[in-house]
């Protein structure tokens, strides 16, 4: 009888513990769901066949498609008009599955759109059968780097041109000096040539 009473007393305790664990689990899930959805970077969960299982709001905006249309697709299904895009994304995913992680910068181009650059950082098996990718649009950063590179190139060309002009001017100065020294000894019949030479040197 005493044993039965003890069992009856522990039963509600076990139920309340299970309820608390379930409540805590729901709160934890809601917390991580909020973090997932509110991230400013695109977040994708995908399976080992490369199909999208879940994607957050930032990811939807960057890919210009709603979650309902993206789930079940493979990321490279969006770029069927550009084989190089498909191969680059497949290469990234396969590297993740083989090495456990990968980071890549991939240029993508949808039909009738300008080129865009995305940085993908992925990790395999965050839970069994699911892989995780963080991606962000770095097109503006790449364009800025390209502008800076072109600007640096133009600066180098400018410095080179200035140096060449300086090197050209030096011998011209010497030639002017020699011509002036020869002025008195040049015969009258050659004076026309002298005038042409000095006028050309003055123009440079």
Report residue 148's pLDDT band, with 50, 70 and 90 as the boundaries.
confident
CA distance linking residue 91 with residue 176, whole number of Å: 66
Cβ(58)–Cβ(41) below 8 Å: yes
Q: Give strand pairing partners of 103.
A: 121
Topology, domain 39-137: Beta-Lactamase (3.30.450)
pTM for the full predicted model: 0.59
List pLDDT tens digits, range 64-121: 899 999 999 999 898 877 888 889 999 999 999 999 999 999 888 766 667 889 999 9
List pLDDT tens digits, range 45-71: 999 999 999 999 999 999 989 999 999
């Amino acid at each position: 009888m005493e044993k039965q009473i003890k069992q009856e007393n522990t039963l509600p305790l076990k139920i309340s513990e299970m309820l608390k664990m379930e409540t805590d689990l729901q709160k934890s899930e809601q917390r991580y769901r909020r973090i997932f959805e509110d991230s400013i970077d695109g977040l994708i969960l995908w399976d080992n066949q490369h199909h999208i299982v879940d994607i957050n709001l930032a990811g939807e905006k960057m890919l210009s498609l709603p979650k309902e249309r993206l789930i079940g697709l493979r990321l490279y299904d969006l770029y069927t008009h550009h084989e190089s895009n498909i191969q680059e994304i497949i290469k990234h995913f396969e590297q993740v599955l083989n090495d456990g992680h990968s980071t890549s910068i991939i240029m993508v181009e949808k039909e009738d759109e300008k080129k865009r650059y995305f940085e993908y950082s992925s990790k395999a098996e965050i839970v069994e059968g699911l892989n995780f990718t963080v991606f962000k649009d770095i097109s503006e950063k790449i364009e800025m780097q390209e502008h800076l590179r072109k600007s640096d190139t133009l600066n180098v060309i400018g410095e080179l041109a200035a140096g060449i002009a300086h090197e050209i001017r030096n011998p011209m100065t010497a030639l002017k000096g020699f011509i002036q020294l020869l002025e008195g000894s040049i015969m009258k019949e050659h004076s026309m040539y002298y005038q042409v030479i000095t006028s050309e040197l003055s123009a440079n």
